Chains A and B, each alone.
Chain A
Amino acid sequence: MGVVLRNLQKVVPFRRARLRRDVDTLRLILGVQKLDLGLICVDNRRIQQINNTYRKRNTPTDVLSFPFHEELRPGKLPCPLHRDELNLGDIFLGVEFLMKQCQEDSTDLHSTLTVVTAHGICHLLGYRHETDEEWSEMFQRESYILGEYNRLTGQHLEPLTKRCSQDS
Protein backbone atom coordinates (compact mmCIF):
# COMPACT_ATOMS: atom_id res chain seq x y z
CA MET A 1 0.00 0.00 0.00
CA GLY A 2 1.76 3.17 1.12
CA VAL A 3 0.47 6.71 0.94
CA VAL A 4 -3.04 7.11 -0.45
CA LEU A 5 -3.03 10.67 -1.79
CA ARG A 6 -6.28 12.41 -2.65
CA ASN A 7 -6.79 15.95 -3.89
CA LEU A 8 -10.41 16.93 -3.28
CA GLN A 9 -10.06 20.65 -3.91
CA LYS A 10 -9.59 22.88 -6.94
CA VAL A 11 -8.43 26.10 -5.27
CA VAL A 12 -4.71 25.45 -4.83
CA PRO A 13 -2.57 23.73 -7.47
CA PHE A 14 0.31 21.69 -6.05
CA ARG A 15 2.68 18.97 -7.23
CA ARG A 16 1.38 15.57 -6.22
CA ALA A 17 4.62 13.78 -7.08
CA ARG A 18 6.67 16.11 -4.91
CA LEU A 19 4.30 15.81 -1.95
CA ARG A 20 4.40 12.01 -2.21
CA ARG A 21 8.21 11.99 -2.42
CA ASP A 22 8.54 14.27 0.61
CA VAL A 23 6.05 12.27 2.66
CA ASP A 24 7.80 9.03 1.72
CA THR A 25 11.04 10.56 3.04
CA LEU A 26 9.30 11.43 6.33
CA ARG A 27 7.96 7.86 6.62
CA LEU A 28 11.43 6.49 6.01
CA ILE A 29 12.91 8.71 8.74
CA LEU A 30 10.25 7.55 11.20
CA GLY A 31 10.55 3.88 10.18
CA VAL A 32 6.86 3.64 9.31
CA GLN A 33 7.19 2.83 5.58
CA LYS A 34 5.22 -0.38 6.05
CA LEU A 35 2.24 1.43 7.50
CA ASP A 36 -0.43 2.89 5.21
CA LEU A 37 -1.22 6.57 5.42
CA GLY A 38 -4.09 8.57 3.93
CA LEU A 39 -3.29 12.12 2.87
CA ILE A 40 -6.30 14.15 1.79
CA CYS A 41 -5.98 17.71 0.48
CA VAL A 42 -9.08 19.83 1.02
CA ASP A 43 -10.26 23.44 0.76
CA ASN A 44 -11.37 25.76 3.59
CA ARG A 45 -15.01 24.77 3.36
CA ARG A 46 -14.26 21.06 3.72
CA ILE A 47 -11.73 21.33 6.54
CA GLN A 48 -14.03 23.71 8.43
CA GLN A 49 -16.80 21.15 8.10
CA ILE A 50 -14.55 18.37 9.45
CA ASN A 51 -13.17 20.63 12.20
CA ASN A 52 -16.71 21.45 13.29
CA THR A 53 -17.88 17.83 13.17
CA TYR A 54 -14.99 16.30 15.08
CA ARG A 55 -13.63 19.16 17.22
CA LYS A 56 -16.63 21.50 17.49
CA ARG A 57 -14.54 24.33 16.07
CA ASN A 58 -16.34 25.95 13.20
CA THR A 59 -13.29 27.47 11.49
CA PRO A 60 -10.89 26.37 8.78
CA THR A 61 -7.53 25.07 9.97
CA ASP A 62 -4.19 23.81 8.61
CA VAL A 63 -4.19 20.11 9.48
CA LEU A 64 -6.40 17.49 11.12
CA SER A 65 -5.14 14.02 12.02
CA PHE A 66 -7.23 10.89 12.54
CA PRO A 67 -5.04 8.15 14.05
CA PHE A 68 -5.86 4.54 13.33
CA HIS A 69 -4.22 3.47 16.60
CA GLU A 70 -5.83 5.82 19.11
CA GLU A 71 -4.16 4.58 22.28
CA LEU A 72 -0.54 4.89 21.12
CA ARG A 73 1.98 6.19 23.62
CA PRO A 74 4.16 8.89 22.08
CA GLY A 75 7.35 7.39 20.72
CA LYS A 76 5.95 3.85 20.49
CA LEU A 77 5.28 2.50 17.05
CA PRO A 78 2.10 0.46 16.58
CA CYS A 79 2.41 -3.34 16.69
CA PRO A 80 -0.13 -4.52 14.12
CA LEU A 81 -1.40 -8.08 14.47
CA HIS A 82 -3.32 -8.16 11.19
CA ARG A 83 -2.83 -6.72 7.72
CA ASP A 84 -5.76 -4.35 8.34
CA GLU A 85 -3.85 -2.77 11.21
CA LEU A 86 -0.82 -1.81 9.08
CA ASN A 87 -2.29 1.65 9.04
CA LEU A 88 -1.28 4.94 10.62
CA GLY A 89 -4.54 6.76 9.83
CA ASP A 90 -5.49 9.81 7.79
CA ILE A 91 -4.22 13.37 7.62
CA PHE A 92 -6.42 16.13 6.17
CA LEU A 93 -4.34 19.01 4.85
CA GLY A 94 -6.15 22.35 4.61
CA VAL A 95 -4.22 23.42 1.51
CA GLU A 96 -6.28 26.57 0.92
CA PHE A 97 -5.68 27.67 4.53
CA LEU A 98 -1.97 26.84 4.21
CA MET A 99 -1.66 28.66 0.90
CA LYS A 100 -2.98 31.85 2.49
CA GLN A 101 -0.49 31.47 5.38
CA CYS A 102 2.34 30.95 2.88
CA GLN A 103 1.37 34.11 1.00
CA GLU A 104 1.34 36.10 4.25
CA ASP A 105 4.68 34.67 5.42
CA SER A 106 6.26 34.56 1.95
CA THR A 107 7.04 30.86 2.37
CA ASP A 108 6.99 28.00 -0.09
CA LEU A 109 3.80 25.91 -0.18
CA HIS A 110 5.49 22.56 -0.75
CA SER A 111 7.93 23.05 2.10
CA THR A 112 5.01 24.01 4.31
CA LEU A 113 3.09 20.89 3.26
CA THR A 114 6.08 18.78 4.37
CA VAL A 115 6.29 20.55 7.75
CA VAL A 116 2.55 20.23 8.35
CA THR A 117 2.51 16.57 7.30
CA ALA A 118 5.39 15.84 9.71
CA HIS A 119 3.26 17.46 12.43
CA GLY A 120 0.26 15.36 11.38
CA ILE A 121 2.25 12.11 11.41
CA CYS A 122 3.43 12.91 14.96
CA HIS A 123 -0.22 13.16 16.00
CA LEU A 124 -0.90 9.80 14.33
CA LEU A 125 1.96 8.37 16.42
CA GLY A 126 0.40 9.51 19.68
CA TYR A 127 2.03 12.90 20.22
CA ARG A 128 -0.10 15.75 21.60
CA HIS A 129 0.51 19.40 22.48
CA GLU A 130 -2.15 20.18 25.05
CA THR A 131 0.20 20.52 28.04
CA ASP A 132 3.68 22.08 28.17
CA GLU A 133 5.17 18.65 28.72
CA GLU A 134 3.37 17.20 25.69
CA TRP A 135 4.28 20.24 23.64
CA SER A 136 7.95 19.85 24.48
CA GLU A 137 7.89 16.13 23.67
CA MET A 138 6.22 16.75 20.31
CA PHE A 139 8.52 19.65 19.46
CA GLN A 140 11.56 17.43 20.06
CA ARG A 141 10.18 14.71 17.84
CA GLU A 142 9.32 17.11 15.02
CA SER A 143 12.74 18.74 15.33
CA TYR A 144 14.38 15.35 14.96
CA ILE A 145 12.28 14.37 11.92
CA LEU A 146 12.83 17.66 10.11
CA GLY A 147 16.52 17.73 11.10
CA GLU A 148 16.94 14.36 9.38
CA TYR A 149 14.83 15.56 6.46
CA ASN A 150 17.01 18.67 6.09
CA ARG A 151 20.15 16.55 6.24
CA LEU A 152 18.86 14.29 3.45
CA THR A 153 17.46 17.01 1.21
CA GLY A 154 19.54 20.10 1.98
CA GLN A 155 16.50 22.09 3.03
CA HIS A 156 16.00 24.18 6.17
CA LEU A 157 12.56 23.30 7.49
CA GLU A 158 11.44 24.06 11.04
CA PRO A 159 8.80 22.29 13.15
CA LEU A 160 5.21 23.50 13.07
CA THR A 161 5.03 23.09 16.85
CA LYS A 162 7.40 26.04 17.13
CA ARG A 163 4.77 28.44 15.93
CA CYS A 164 1.51 26.59 16.43
CA SER A 165 -1.12 27.47 18.94
CA GLN A 166 -3.06 24.57 20.41
CA ASP A 167 -4.95 24.34 17.22
CA SER A 168 -4.34 21.11 15.40
Chain B
Amino acid sequence: MLKSLSRAVGTAVRLSTVTTSTARAVPLSRPTLCAPSPATSRPFTRSLWLMSNNNGASSGYRPKLFSSRVLRPSSVSCGCGALHTEGDKAFGEFLSDEIKEERKIQKTKSLPKMSGGWTLETNGAEVKLVRSVSGEKIMVTFNPDIVSAPNFVVEVTKQEAAKHSLVFDCHFPEDEIGHGEGEEESDIFAIREVSFQPEGDSDWKETSYTLNTDSLDWALYDHFMDFLADRGVDNAFADDLRELSTAMEHQEYIKFLEDLGSFVHCK
Protein backbone atom coordinates (compact mmCIF):
# COMPACT_ATOMS: atom_id res chain seq x y z
CA MET B 1 0.00 0.00 0.00
CA LEU B 2 2.70 2.41 1.01
CA LYS B 3 4.64 2.13 -2.15
CA SER B 4 1.68 3.36 -4.10
CA LEU B 5 1.82 7.04 -3.12
CA SER B 6 3.48 8.41 -6.19
CA ARG B 7 1.46 6.08 -8.39
CA ALA B 8 -1.80 7.10 -6.76
CA VAL B 9 -1.00 10.75 -7.29
CA GLY B 10 0.00 9.98 -10.86
CA THR B 11 -3.35 8.35 -11.47
CA ALA B 12 -5.15 11.34 -10.01
CA VAL B 13 -3.30 13.61 -12.38
CA ARG B 14 -4.05 11.45 -15.36
CA LEU B 15 -7.73 11.29 -14.51
CA SER B 16 -7.93 15.06 -14.51
CA THR B 17 -7.75 17.03 -17.72
CA VAL B 18 -4.25 18.21 -16.88
CA THR B 19 -1.72 16.71 -19.20
CA THR B 20 1.50 18.52 -18.39
CA SER B 21 4.22 16.49 -16.77
CA THR B 22 4.50 18.96 -13.93
CA ALA B 23 0.88 18.73 -12.88
CA ARG B 24 0.33 18.80 -9.15
CA ALA B 25 -2.42 16.70 -7.73
CA VAL B 26 -4.27 18.35 -4.88
CA PRO B 27 -7.59 16.78 -3.94
CA LEU B 28 -10.35 18.62 -5.68
CA SER B 29 -13.18 17.76 -3.37
CA ARG B 30 -14.64 20.70 -1.51
CA PRO B 31 -17.50 20.77 0.92
CA THR B 32 -20.53 22.16 -0.83
CA LEU B 33 -23.69 23.44 0.70
CA CYS B 34 -26.80 22.13 -1.00
CA ALA B 35 -29.48 24.77 -1.20
CA PRO B 36 -32.80 23.96 -2.84
CA SER B 37 -33.10 25.44 -6.26
CA PRO B 38 -35.44 28.45 -6.44
CA ALA B 39 -36.81 27.06 -9.67
CA THR B 40 -38.27 24.11 -7.83
CA SER B 41 -39.31 25.81 -4.60
CA ARG B 42 -41.06 28.87 -6.04
CA PRO B 43 -44.07 27.25 -7.78
CA PHE B 44 -44.95 25.38 -4.60
CA THR B 45 -44.82 28.37 -2.26
CA ARG B 46 -46.59 30.47 -4.82
CA SER B 47 -49.44 27.97 -5.09
CA LEU B 48 -49.85 28.05 -1.31
CA TRP B 49 -49.99 31.83 -1.47
CA LEU B 50 -52.70 31.66 -4.10
CA MET B 51 -54.71 29.26 -1.97
CA SER B 52 -54.56 31.54 1.06
CA ASN B 53 -55.22 34.75 -0.80
CA ASN B 54 -58.81 35.99 -1.02
CA ASN B 55 -58.26 37.57 -4.39
CA GLY B 56 -56.77 34.42 -5.73
CA ALA B 57 -60.04 32.49 -5.55
CA SER B 58 -62.04 33.58 -8.61
CA SER B 59 -65.10 31.45 -7.82
CA GLY B 60 -65.55 32.95 -4.39
CA TYR B 61 -64.69 29.63 -2.80
CA ARG B 62 -62.33 30.16 0.12
CA PRO B 63 -60.15 27.24 0.84
CA LYS B 64 -59.97 26.42 4.55
CA LEU B 65 -56.30 25.50 4.73
CA PHE B 66 -55.21 28.52 6.78
CA SER B 67 -58.49 29.66 8.18
CA SER B 68 -59.54 26.32 9.64
CA ARG B 69 -59.09 25.62 13.33
CA VAL B 70 -55.62 24.37 14.09
CA LEU B 71 -54.91 21.67 16.57
CA ARG B 72 -53.92 23.58 19.65
CA PRO B 73 -51.28 21.90 21.75
CA SER B 74 -51.71 22.06 25.51
CA SER B 75 -50.38 25.48 26.30
CA VAL B 76 -48.93 27.18 29.34
CA SER B 77 -48.84 30.98 29.51
CA CYS B 78 -46.07 32.99 31.15
CA GLY B 79 -47.78 36.30 30.48
CA CYS B 80 -45.50 37.24 27.60
CA GLY B 81 -48.20 36.62 25.06
CA ALA B 82 -46.23 33.99 23.22
CA LEU B 83 -47.09 30.33 22.96
CA HIS B 84 -45.68 27.96 25.58
CA THR B 85 -46.39 24.28 25.25
CA GLU B 86 -45.56 21.13 27.16
CA GLY B 87 -43.32 20.37 24.20
CA ASP B 88 -41.45 23.66 24.78
CA LYS B 89 -40.95 22.70 28.40
CA ALA B 90 -39.49 19.33 27.43
CA PHE B 91 -37.39 21.07 24.79
CA GLY B 92 -36.01 23.47 27.42
CA GLU B 93 -35.13 20.60 29.75
CA PHE B 94 -33.43 18.76 26.92
CA LEU B 95 -31.41 21.87 26.08
CA SER B 96 -30.30 22.32 29.70
CA ASP B 97 -28.99 18.74 29.77
CA GLU B 98 -27.33 19.17 26.37
CA ILE B 99 -25.57 22.37 27.49
CA LYS B 100 -24.31 20.62 30.65
CA GLU B 101 -22.92 17.73 28.55
CA GLU B 102 -21.28 20.06 26.03
CA ARG B 103 -19.65 22.07 28.83
CA LYS B 104 -18.20 18.86 30.22
CA ILE B 105 -16.60 18.12 26.83
CA GLN B 106 -15.28 21.68 26.53
CA LYS B 107 -11.70 21.48 27.80
CA THR B 108 -11.42 25.08 28.96
CA LYS B 109 -13.61 28.14 28.58
CA SER B 110 -10.70 30.10 27.14
CA LEU B 111 -9.60 29.52 23.56
CA PRO B 112 -6.30 27.77 22.81
CA LYS B 113 -3.42 30.17 22.22
CA MET B 114 -1.79 30.45 18.80
CA SER B 115 1.97 30.36 19.16
CA GLY B 116 4.01 32.79 17.07
CA GLY B 117 2.69 36.18 18.14
CA TRP B 118 -0.64 36.11 16.30
CA THR B 119 -3.37 38.54 17.36
CA LEU B 120 -6.91 37.21 17.26
CA GLU B 121 -9.75 39.37 15.94
CA THR B 122 -13.34 38.22 15.47
CA ASN B 123 -15.98 39.86 13.36
CA GLY B 124 -19.20 37.86 13.48
CA ALA B 125 -18.51 34.51 11.93
CA GLU B 126 -15.19 35.64 10.49
CA VAL B 127 -11.98 35.18 12.45
CA LYS B 128 -8.72 36.96 11.71
CA LEU B 129 -5.22 36.15 12.90
CA VAL B 130 -2.77 38.96 12.33
CA ARG B 131 0.95 39.35 12.84
CA SER B 132 3.58 41.73 11.58
CA VAL B 133 7.10 40.67 10.66
CA SER B 134 9.79 43.07 9.49
CA GLY B 135 7.63 45.46 7.49
CA GLU B 136 5.16 42.83 6.40
CA LYS B 137 1.65 42.22 7.60
CA ILE B 138 0.37 38.65 7.51
CA MET B 139 -3.35 38.15 7.95
CA VAL B 140 -5.08 34.77 8.09
CA THR B 141 -8.87 34.68 7.75
CA PHE B 142 -11.19 31.73 8.34
CA ASN B 143 -14.73 30.88 9.35
CA PRO B 144 -14.96 28.27 12.12
CA ASP B 145 -18.73 27.91 11.78
CA ILE B 146 -18.58 25.81 8.66
CA VAL B 147 -16.22 23.01 9.64
CA SER B 148 -13.64 22.65 12.38
CA ALA B 149 -10.87 22.30 9.78
CA PRO B 150 -11.86 25.25 7.63
CA ASN B 151 -10.37 26.67 4.47
CA PHE B 152 -8.24 29.65 5.36
CA VAL B 153 -6.91 32.61 3.42
CA VAL B 154 -3.45 34.05 4.00
CA GLU B 155 -2.82 37.63 2.89
CA VAL B 156 0.74 38.89 2.84
CA THR B 157 1.12 42.67 2.54
CA LYS B 158 4.42 44.46 2.20
CA GLN B 159 4.00 47.76 3.95
CA GLU B 160 6.46 49.57 1.70
CA ALA B 161 4.67 48.64 -1.51
CA ALA B 162 1.15 48.16 -0.26
CA LYS B 163 -0.78 48.31 -3.51
CA HIS B 164 -1.39 44.60 -3.61
CA SER B 165 -1.49 41.73 -1.19
CA LEU B 166 -0.34 38.27 -2.17
CA VAL B 167 -3.21 35.98 -1.28
CA PHE B 168 -3.10 32.22 -0.67
CA ASP B 169 -6.28 30.19 -0.52
CA CYS B 170 -5.44 27.20 1.71
CA HIS B 171 -7.26 24.09 2.89
CA PHE B 172 -6.89 20.87 4.88
CA PRO B 173 -6.92 18.10 2.25
CA GLU B 174 -6.90 15.25 4.79
CA ASP B 175 -10.31 16.31 6.08
CA GLU B 176 -11.80 16.34 2.62
CA ILE B 177 -10.74 12.89 1.48
CA GLY B 178 -13.00 9.97 2.27
CA HIS B 179 -11.18 7.77 4.76
CA GLY B 180 -11.01 4.04 4.40
CA GLU B 181 -10.00 3.42 0.80
CA GLY B 182 -6.27 3.47 0.16
CA GLU B 183 -3.64 5.28 2.14
CA GLU B 184 -3.39 8.61 0.41
CA GLU B 185 -0.80 10.69 2.21
CA SER B 186 -1.60 14.41 2.18
CA ASP B 187 0.19 17.43 3.52
CA ILE B 188 -1.37 18.80 6.71
CA PHE B 189 -2.46 21.84 4.74
CA ALA B 190 -2.21 22.70 1.08
CA ILE B 191 -2.43 25.81 -1.10
CA ARG B 192 -5.31 25.72 -3.55
CA GLU B 193 -4.96 29.10 -5.27
CA VAL B 194 -2.63 32.10 -5.32
CA SER B 195 -3.49 35.60 -6.55
CA PHE B 196 -2.80 39.30 -6.08
CA GLN B 197 -5.63 41.36 -4.59
CA PRO B 198 -5.88 45.10 -3.90
CA GLU B 199 -4.63 45.75 -0.39
CA GLY B 200 -7.35 46.47 2.18
CA ASP B 201 -10.11 45.80 -0.32
CA SER B 202 -12.70 43.49 1.16
CA ASP B 203 -14.28 42.79 -2.23
CA TRP B 204 -11.79 40.82 -4.20
CA LYS B 205 -11.66 41.16 -7.91
CA GLU B 206 -12.88 38.04 -9.62
CA THR B 207 -10.96 39.25 -12.64
CA SER B 208 -7.59 39.05 -10.91
CA TYR B 209 -5.43 36.31 -12.39
CA THR B 210 -5.63 33.32 -10.08
CA LEU B 211 -2.98 30.64 -10.10
CA ASN B 212 -4.52 27.26 -9.42
CA THR B 213 -2.10 24.79 -7.87
CA ASP B 214 -3.69 21.77 -9.59
CA SER B 215 -1.44 22.24 -12.59
CA LEU B 216 1.50 23.98 -11.02
CA ASP B 217 5.21 23.24 -11.29
CA TRP B 218 5.97 21.41 -8.04
CA ALA B 219 9.17 23.34 -7.43
CA LEU B 220 7.18 26.60 -7.54
CA TYR B 221 4.63 25.09 -5.16
CA ASP B 222 7.42 24.20 -2.71
CA HIS B 223 8.73 27.78 -2.86
CA PHE B 224 5.23 29.02 -2.01
CA MET B 225 5.10 26.67 0.98
CA ASP B 226 8.55 27.83 2.16
CA PHE B 227 7.44 31.45 1.68
CA LEU B 228 4.46 30.86 3.96
CA ALA B 229 6.57 28.95 6.51
CA ASP B 230 8.98 31.90 6.72
CA ARG B 231 5.96 34.03 7.69
CA GLY B 232 4.75 31.67 10.39
CA VAL B 233 2.23 29.71 8.33
CA ASP B 234 3.55 26.15 8.53
CA ASN B 235 2.28 22.75 9.65
CA ALA B 236 2.48 23.70 13.35
CA PHE B 237 0.43 26.84 12.64
CA ALA B 238 -2.14 24.85 10.64
CA ASP B 239 -2.47 22.40 13.51
CA ASP B 240 -2.97 25.26 16.01
CA LEU B 241 -5.53 26.85 13.68
CA ARG B 242 -7.50 23.62 13.46
CA GLU B 243 -7.54 23.37 17.26
CA LEU B 244 -8.57 27.01 17.63
CA SER B 245 -11.29 26.66 15.03
CA THR B 246 -12.67 23.52 16.70
CA ALA B 247 -12.75 25.28 20.09
CA MET B 248 -14.43 28.37 18.60
CA GLU B 249 -17.00 26.29 16.76
CA HIS B 250 -17.78 24.43 19.99
CA GLN B 251 -18.02 27.70 21.93
CA GLU B 252 -20.44 29.05 19.33
CA TYR B 253 -22.49 25.86 19.49
CA ILE B 254 -22.88 26.13 23.27
CA LYS B 255 -23.84 29.81 22.94
CA PHE B 256 -26.41 28.89 20.31
CA LEU B 257 -27.90 26.23 22.62
CA GLU B 258 -28.08 28.83 25.43
CA ASP B 259 -29.78 31.35 23.15
CA LEU B 260 -32.16 28.65 22.01
CA GLY B 261 -32.99 27.77 25.62
CA SER B 262 -33.63 31.45 26.41
CA PHE B 263 -35.82 31.83 23.35
CA VAL B 264 -37.90 28.79 24.13
CA HIS B 265 -38.28 29.84 27.77
CA CYS B 266 -38.88 33.53 26.97
CA LYS B 267 -36.05 34.55 29.28
Partner-B contacts on A (CB < 8 A): 1-10, 13, 15-17, 19-21, 36-38, 40, 50, 54, 66-68, 83-84, 87-90, 92
Contact = CB atoms under 8 A, between A and B. Distances in A.
Contact of A1 (B21, B186, B188, B226): B21
B235 A20 contact: no
B234 to A, nearest CB: 6
Interface string B60-98: 000000000000000000000000000000000000000
A36 B226 contact: no
A16 B3 CA distance: 21
Contacts of B193: none
Interface residues of B, number: 29
Contacts of B225: 7, 16-17
A83 B226 CA distance: 31
Contacts of B5: 4, 6, 38, 40, 90
Nearest to A50: B2
A111 B226 CA distance: 17
B98 to A, nearest CB: 34
A7 B10 contact: no
A17 B7 contact: no
Most buried by B among A10, A19, A36: A10
B48 interface: no
Interface in B10-29: 10-11, 13-14, 21-22
B234 A10 contact: yes
B215 to A, nearest CB: 13
Contacts of B234: 10, 13
A6 to B, nearest CB: 5
Interface stretch (B38-46, B164-172, B202-210, B216-224): B216-224
Contacts of B223: 17
A128 B65 CA distance: 83
B264 interface: no
B185 interface: yes
